[in-house]
């Protein structure tokens, strides 16, 4: 699905030049980055990392912490925001591979509670 940008957003995208554009959802306040589609292709700087268990390093984590500190201080540049987003994605993928959350028990409990709230017996 392709969504057309508003004129205001298109103007900001033009102003950002080659840098990714950081946007915020007005209701959830979740941040998104707009990057050219060809730069998100496999092998590009913004593409998700390949699934390798050894791709997360202490250096990447230290860089992620430094960027988070800059973000909290309000000094994060758009390029750094893109880098932080990429590092966050890489860390999430790494954690999913090496220490996945035990969600099956939580899902089973949720289903049980839903059934109980509807008056069903187990």
20, 18, 14: which is closest to 84 by C-alpha?
A: 20
Instruction: Return the structure tokens found at 17.
Output: 């030049």
Residue with token string 């925001």: 81
Give the domain ranges of the chain: 7-117
- Decide: 95 and 65 in contact? Cβ < 8 Å: no
| Residue 65 token pair | 């912490």
| 22 three-class SS | strand
Residue 103 has φ and ψ, to the nearest 5°, of -85, -15
**What pTM was estimated for this model as a whole?**
0.48
**Would you write out the chain's pLDDT as a tens digit for each of its 122 residues?**
788 888 888 888 887 766 677 778 888 888 777 877 766 655 555 555 555 545 788 999 999 999 999 999 999 988 888 889 889 888 888 888 888 878 888 888 989 999 999 887 65
Q: What is the DSSP secondary structure assignment for residue 122, as one 8-state letter?
A: -
């Amino acid at each position: 699905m392709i969504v057309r940008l508003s004129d205001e957003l298109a103007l900001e995208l033009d102003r950002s030049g080659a840098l990714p554009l950081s946007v915020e959802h007005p209701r959830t306040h979740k941040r998104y980055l707009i990057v050219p589609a060809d730069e998100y292709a496999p092998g590009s700087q913004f593409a998700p990392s390949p699934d390798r268990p050894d791709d997360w390093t202490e250096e990447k984590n230290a860089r992620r912490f430094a960027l988070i500190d800059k973000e909290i201080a309000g000094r994060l540049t758009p390029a750094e925001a893109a880098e932080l987003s990429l590092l966050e994605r890489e860390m999430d993928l790494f954690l999913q591979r090496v220490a996945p959350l035990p969600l099956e028990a939580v899902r089973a409990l949720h289903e049980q509670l839903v059934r109980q709230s509807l008056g069903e017996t187990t």
